[in-house]
Amino acid sequence: MQFLISMVINPSVLDALTEEEKTALGEGHGRFIQALKQSGELITTQALVDPSQAAVVTVRNGQPVVTDGPYLEAKEYLGGFYLVDCEDKARAIELAAQIPDAAIDGLGVEVRQVMFADGPLEA
């Protein structure tokens, strides 16, 4: 079963971390990625640029209109994700609990099963 584990982050929470805490966060993700690769559960992981760099695209009367993002004004936004293939939802939750963000107040880690997938898998 495939699951998207997404990390909902809040920049002010991240900014308030000490240097040591930030280093520990990065190293925690590094270890998590290594372990997932070895167990054969990682499909891919990606982190996204700051939402201030987002472009919102709409098409009206057939004409695309592009405005500076993000689409939703919120304190939290999608910072990145892990796409994993694992035994079941319980295992996905177990994996999510190993993501360092899960132990930090104000950062969200969310697990959702994939329902449809297409495209080259190794993209």
Partner 1 sequence: MTVPALEDLLRELAPQVLGALVRRHGQFENCEDAVQEAVLAASVQWPADGVPDNPRGWLTAVASRRLIDQVRSDRARRERESSAAVAEVPAEDVPDTDDTLALLFLCCHPALTPASQTALTLRAVGGLTTAEIARAFLVPEATLAARISRAKQRIKAAGGTFSLPGDAEREERLRVVLQVLYLIFNEGYTASSGSELDRADLAREAIRLARVVHAQLPADGEVTGLLALMLLTHARREARTTAAGDLVPLDEQDRAQWDGALTDEGMDLVKASLAGPSLGPYEVQAAIAATHADAATAAETNWAQVHALYLILERIAPNPVVTLNRAVALAETRGPQAGLDLLATLDADERMAGHHRLLSVRAHLLEKAGDPAGAYDHYRRAAKATASIAEQRYLESRAGRVRARTTPGDRRP
User: Which residue ranges make up the site for partner 1 (CB under 8 A)?
Assistant: 1-2, 37-44, 85-87, 113-118, 121-122
Residue 30 near residue 23 (C-beta atoms within 8 A): no
Min dist CB 76 to partner 1, Å, is 24
Nearer to partner 1, 17 or 93 (CB): 93
Residue 108: HSE in the Cβ half-sphere, 13 Å Cα cutoff: 11
Min dist CB 123 to partner 1, Å, is 9
Residue 99 near residue 32 (C-beta atoms within 8 A): yes
Coil, strand or helix: which one is 25? helix
Coil, strand or helix: which one is 54? coil
Min dist CB 81 to partner 1, Å, is 16
Min dist CB 38 to partner 1, Å, is 6
Nearer to partner 1, 64 or 119 (CB): 119
Looking up tokens 């939290």 gives: 76
Q: Phi, psi at residue 32, to the nearest 5°?
A: -60, -45
Nearer to partner 1, 4 or 48 (CB): 4
Nearer to partner 1, 75 or 112 (CB): 112
